[in-house]
């Protein structure tokens, strides 16, 4: 499933595998850029033809060469810390212009540098005393300190290929796409020549109320590039948005790249950071600021370094911040990442965030200059405080339709865009639209989609997933399958899906057909969902196997340890109704008829007395469930949706009732299931994913209707299953369980030179399951119940949990080759059961930064 929402990113990375080259010459300017103070060459200085997007950056010695096929008359030179310069050039000829850059003073005003002899750092110093004042005043400086706050927010996310050589467009593969390579920007970020390929804009009005607390984000307009049906452009945006979370420096922790960084003004910041007073500043309005620089005490911890400017007006507010991620931390593909924030003085006398720009340079290696450069810029204006509104304004309600929001005219954006687009950004919509309409690009997109997502798109429908076309197991032998689903191009309300499969050993056809009707005129994969679904499935099932997002007939899951012949043929009729709300509360209702027919070593069902054989078991169920996942986010594309794990809890409660003598149901029973998920960030020790579960079944039922605990006999490490438990080994009618999966993020390995270079990371997990079987569902006490399965020698292979809980744990290493996790798993209890594995090695594929 990971590749399902990251293959688009991998496609972009393919552009990084390009090399250097040159272009034709008409106007050529070359020379050396030096520091006017010491005459040393300056690297990464931006040199461009004025009024164009044609530019380059100087090399390590300060040399540059600038070429244009059009007559040019001026060049512009810019570099952080130096004054911009403009020089006249002779059009249409080759010339040499050497440039001396003049240092510039800070634009903030007068600066007085506080110098001191270098000495051992102590926590009892003026800088720490000042940061403690900032911490003490944090709450009153946040917008949430007011009873009511509102503002307009413009969110711009842009990704570019960076430092791509001009020679690329001359390569045969890219000759048709030359127009894309003309749209370069070498001035916005000195040292980077950017080729924009993705842009998304969003304008919204935000309302906040303290009591009762509520935040309403009213979307006014959205605009994004669209790579066509071969790509889930929406999924790309959600994935990058997760990497570039909104940064609130007043929070104790800041989420970036899926990691939790400790804020430099967190309550515990003095314990983890070193602080220094480096400047005192007087603004043009006479306000005084102090610049505090900070660095991590331990450079291997997930911390920032940088500067913050603090007001000396008694509020100790942040007026400006520059944060850089520590280069020594264990992250993949990230050369650098910065967060620049500006706060404006508002009429109420407080500083509110006016602009936040997060930008990062991604690349395969440190040495290679080319890569991917991404920015997310938030601009906020029109703050208004303590203006109450009616309660209905703060309640979530249906916004304008997606199509209306996404089709705002250009005049709307010209009037309402709170930030300006660069020349290169303004062209990206037209360029990508032209690219998508090229047959060669669509063919390439189809290949990429098939390789990484497993589906081949045909416009109104697509075929897949490819990983299930071929598999095998002991009951079916060789299994071939083909399936597909309709897309939004077929209908935005009706979605059809299905597959057909054939087992050559059991000589049986399996198939599924489902139709889903959207009740809110949105894709059923988009939040909030509101749909009704009807389905029928006839297929094999291993009791207790739950694979989360993977298909059970995935080819790689055909390989299993131990005996694997406990199967059921299931005929399942289902009707499901799902309704989600804007506050992330949802409920579902269901009606299901299930006929289970034993096969493999489970055949036949037989009662404990040995007097009756049952060819199948039929049940009819009604179900209801509620779920609450505050602030839940999704990787959400056109034809998929997967949750993004964050720090907020996910709680669910499900009730199921078996209906006897209704639609052929043979048993009456009730069942309650509870589950709670929560990620705990434990700086600087990474994070832990914790799951608590509870289940209770009321009524007398045979073992297939009990809680068959999730087992795993594959060689993949499955987070939600017991990886050394055999299929159908344990059943219960009451149970509680805890699952802890700890990720240290390299906290220990970063201190070992070899492991630090490899960027390996440590993991540890523990799982415990406690439960049992009441007398009413114990087969030995009730001869009419099905006996538990036994092997060919009559030895039981299914058990009720006793007084001792089932427990297993693991230690592992993740991030091997950037995407592999390997765990050594150990089983601690019930080691006397036949056919079990007391320990094992399990592997998980996981792409992460």
| 516-534 pLDDT, tens digit each | 999 988 888 888 899 999 9
Give the pLDDT of residue 116. 44
Region 306-327 average pLDDT = 91
Closest CA to 821 of 715, 737, 747: 715
Higher pLDDT, 818 or 779: 779
Task: State yes or no: pLDDT of 639 exceeds 80.
Answer: no
Task: State yes or no: pLDDT of 809 exceeds 90.
Answer: yes
CA gap 559, 561 in Å, rounded: 7
Region 4-28 average pLDDT = 43
For the entire predicted model, the pTM comes to 0.76
Give the pLDDT of residue 231. 67
- End-to-end, the C-alpha distance of the chain in Å comes to 16
**By mean pLDDT, which of 28-42, 50-64, 97-111, 818-832 is the weakest?**
97-111
Residue 190 banded pLDDT, cuts 50, 70, 90: confident
What is the three-state SS of 170-220?
Answer: HCHHHHHHHHHHCCCECCCCCCCCEEEEEEEEEEEEEEEECCCCEEEEEEE
Task: State yes or no: pLDDT of 367 exceeds 70.
Answer: no
CA gap 577, 623 in Å, rounded: 10
| 645-678 pLDDT, tens digit each | 888 999 999 999 999 999 999 999 999 999 999 9
Are 248 and 254 in contact by the 8 Å Cβ rule? The answer is yes
| 733-787 pLDDT, tens digit each | 999 999 999 999 888 988 888 888 888 999 999 999 999 999 999 999 999 999 9
Q: Which tokens is 792 given?
A: 């060919």
| % pLDDT > 70, the chain | 90
CA gap 69, 49 in Å, rounded: 12
**By mean pLDDT, which of 32-46, 532-546, 797-811, 820-834 is the weakest?**
32-46
Tokens 């009740």, residue? 519
Q: What is the mean pLDDT of the chain?
A: 86
Higher pLDDT, 114 or 476: 476
Give the pLDDT of residue 106. 37
Residue 457 banded pLDDT, cuts 50, 70, 90: confident
Give the pLDDT of residue 448. 75
CA gap 643, 649 in Å, rounded: 12
Longest dimension (CA), the chain: 103
Count Cα neighbours of 520 within 13 Å in the Cβ-side half-sphere.
Answer: 22
Task: State yes or no: pLDDT of 401 exceeds 60.
Answer: no
Give the pLDDT of residue 746. 87
CA gap 224, 231 in Å, rounded: 13
Residue 212: cis peptide before it, omega within 30 degrees of 0? yes
**Among the ranges 113-117, 221-225, 508-512, 777-781, which has the highest mean pLDDT value?**
508-512
Residue 110 banded pLDDT, cuts 50, 70, 90: very low
Give the pLDDT of residue 60. 65
Tokens 């003095």, residue? 270
Give the pLDDT of residue 459. 82
| DSSP strand pairing (85-88 vs 839-845) | unpaired
Residue 15 banded pLDDT, cuts 50, 70, 90: very low
CA gap 566, 545 in Å, rounded: 11
């Amino acid at each position: 499933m990971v590749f399902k929402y990251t293959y688009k990113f991998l496609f972009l990375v393919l552009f990084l595998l390009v090399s250097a080259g040159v272009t034709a010459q008409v106007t050529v300017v070359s020379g050396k850029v030096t520091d006017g103070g010491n005459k040393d060459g300056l690297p990464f200085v931006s040199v461009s033809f004025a009024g164009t997007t044609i530019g380059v950056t100087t090399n390590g010695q300060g040399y540059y060469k600038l070429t244009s096929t059009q007559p040019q008359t001026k060049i512009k030179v810019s570099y952080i810390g130096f004054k911009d310069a403009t020089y006249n050039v002779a059009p249409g000829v080759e010339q040499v212009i050497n440039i001396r850059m003049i240092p510039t003073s800070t634009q903030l005003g007068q600066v007085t540098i506080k110098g001191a002899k270098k000495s051992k750092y102590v926590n009892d110093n003026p800088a720490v005393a000042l940061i403690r004042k900032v911490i003490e005043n944090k709450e009153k400086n946040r917008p949430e300190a007011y009873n009511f706050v509102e503002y307009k927010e413009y969110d711009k996310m842009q990704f570019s290929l960076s430092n791509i050589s001009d020679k690329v467009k001359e390569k045969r593969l890219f000759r048709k796409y030359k127009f894309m390579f003309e749209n370069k920007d070498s001035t916005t970020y000195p040292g980077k020549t950017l080729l924009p390929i993705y842009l998304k804009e969003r304008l919204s009005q935000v309302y906040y109320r303290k009591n009762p607390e509520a935040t309403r984000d009213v979307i006014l307009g959205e605009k994004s590039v669209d790579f066509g049906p071969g790509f889930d452009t929406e999924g790309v945006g959600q994935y990058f948005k997760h990497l570039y979370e909104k940064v609130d420096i007043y929070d104790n922790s800041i989420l970036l790249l899926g990691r939790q960084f400790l804020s430099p003004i967190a309550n515990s910041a003095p314990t983890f950071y070193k602080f220094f007073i480096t400047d005192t500043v007087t603004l043009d309005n006479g306000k005084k600021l102090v610049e505090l620089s900070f660095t991590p005490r331990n450079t291997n911890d997930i911390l920032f370094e940088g500067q913050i400017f603090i007001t000396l007006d008694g509020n100790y507010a942040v007026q400006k911040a520059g944060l850089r991620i520590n280069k020594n931390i264990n992250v993949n593909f990230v050369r650098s990442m910065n967060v620049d924030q500006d706060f404006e003085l508002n009429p109420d006398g407080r500083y509110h965030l006016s602009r936040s720009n997060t930008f990062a340079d991604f690349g395969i290696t440190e040495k290679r200059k080319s890569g991917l450069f991404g920015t997310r810029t938030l601009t906020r204006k029109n703050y208004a405080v303590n203006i109450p509104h009616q309660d209905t304004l703060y309640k979530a309600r249906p916004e304008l339709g997606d199509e209306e929001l996404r089709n705002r005219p250009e005049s709307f954006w010209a009037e309402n865009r709170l930030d300006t687009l660069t020349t290169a950004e303004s062209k990206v919509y037209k360029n990508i639209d032209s690219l998508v309409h090229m047959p060669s690009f669509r063919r390439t997109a189809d290949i990429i989609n098939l390789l990484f997502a497993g589906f081949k798109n045909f416009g109104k429908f697509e075929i897949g997933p490819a990983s299930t076309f071929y598999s095998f197991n002991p009951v079916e032998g060789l299994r071939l399958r083909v399936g597909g689903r309709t897309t939004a191009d077929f209908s935005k309300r009706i979605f059809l899906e299905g597959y057909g499969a054939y087992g050559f050993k059991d000589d049986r056809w399996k198939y599924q057909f489902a139709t889903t009707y959207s009740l809110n005129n949105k894709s059923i994969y988009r939040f909030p969902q509101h749909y009704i679904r009807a389905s029928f499935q006839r297929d094999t099932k291993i009791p207790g196997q739950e694979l989360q997002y993977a298909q059970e007939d995935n080819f790689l899951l055909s390989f299993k340890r131990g005996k694997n012949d406990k199967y059921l043929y299931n005929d399942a009729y289902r009707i499901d109704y799902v309704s989600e709300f804007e506050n992330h509360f949802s409920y579902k209702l269901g009606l299901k008829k299930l006929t289970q027919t034993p096969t493999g070593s489970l055949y036949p069902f037989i009662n404990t007395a040995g007097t009756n054989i049952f060819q199948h078991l039929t049940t009819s169920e009604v179900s209801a469930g509620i779920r609450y996942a505050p602030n839940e986010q999704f990787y959400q594309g056109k034809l998929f949706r997967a949750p993004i794990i964050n720090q907020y809890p996910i709680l669910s409660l499900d009730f199921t009732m078996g209906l006897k003598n209704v639609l052929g149901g043979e048993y009456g029973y009730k069942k309650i299931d509870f589950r709670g998920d929560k990620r705990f960030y434990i700086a600087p020790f990474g994070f832990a994913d914790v799951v608590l579960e509870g289940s209770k079944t009321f009524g007398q039922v045979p073992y297939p209707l009990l809680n068959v605990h999730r087992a795993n006999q594959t060689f993949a490490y499955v987070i939600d299953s017991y990886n050394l438990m055999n299929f159908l080994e344990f059943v219960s009618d009451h149970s509680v369980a805890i699952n802890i999966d700890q990720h240290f993020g390299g906290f220990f390995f970063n201190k070992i030179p070899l492991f630090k270079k490899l960027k390996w990371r440590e993991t540890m997990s523990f799982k415990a399951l406690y439960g049992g079987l009441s007398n009413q569902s114990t087969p030995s006490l009730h001869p009419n119940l099905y006996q538990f399965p036994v092997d060919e020698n009559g030895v039981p292979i299914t058990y009720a949990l006793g007084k001792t809980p089932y427990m297993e744990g693991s230690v592992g290493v993740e991030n091997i080759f950037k995407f592999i996790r390997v765990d050594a798993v150990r089983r601690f209890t019930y080691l006397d059961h036949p056919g079990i594995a007391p320990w094992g090695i399990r592997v998980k594929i996981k792409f992460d930064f």
